[in-house]
Amino acid sequence: MLFPRKQTETNLVLAITPRISPIMRFEQTVDHWQFVPGQPLELFDVELKTEGKNKYYWNITKKEMPKTSVIDYNALIIFAKPDNIHVPLGRTPTTESPHLLLPDLYVKKAINVVKHATYLLQMKHLFRQVDSKHKTEPKRYIQHIIP
């Protein structure tokens, strides 16, 4: 998997669960997301490390279940039952990239893609690109978020 990098941190939490729940602050504003109690969940710490010059690897470790059900902002969520996704633990070699090139994950045949896609369509209205307006001034670049 390859994602454009929007942050400088090299560690993230990988969460595998079939469902999450939004906690709303206002009518269409999500305050945060949380795991649904009773749903299967597995968490992994994924950290990019270096060893010497130009030798990069992902270190993947299983994470303990959190005390609260609030999802970390640096979490990557895979909507599936944890039994259907195999995450190799330990070191996985990778290359240096300006993008976030994640380690290999393996999907088992029993996964129900249609069921998870249908679930995500129910939450589609909560996701949209943020509109912004750019303004350039001498020695300054301003970006305004448009509600």
Instruction: Kindly report, residue by residue over 103-142, the tens digit of the pLDDT.
Output: 888 988 877 777 777 777 777 666 666 677 888 888 787 7
User: Domain range spanning residue 110?
Assistant: 2-146
| Tally of domains in the chain | 1
**What pLDDT shows up at residue 55?**
87
Q: The whole model's pTM is what?
A: 0.74
Contact present, 102 and 78 (Cβ < 8 Å): no
**How far is it, in rounded angstroms, from Cα 26 to Cα 28?**
6
Does 27 have pLDDT greater than 80? no
For residue 22, the model assigns a pLDDT of 83
Better-predicted residue by pLDDT, 76 or 130: 76
**In the predicted model, is pLDDT for residue 41 greater than 80?**
yes
Give kind and range of the element (H or E) at residue 13.
Answer: strand 11-17
Q: Is the pLDDT of residue 5 over 60?
A: no
- Whether the pLDDT of residue 2 is over 60: the answer is no
> For residue 23, what pLDDT band results from cuts at 50, 70 and 90?
confident
Alpha carbons 74 and 59: distance in angstroms, whole number: 16
Closest C-alpha among 22, 44, 24 to residue 33? 22
pLDDT at 147: 61
Is the torsion defined by CA of 12, 21, 16, 77 positive or negative? negative
**Using 50, 70 and 90 to split pLDDT, how confident is the model at 16?**
very high
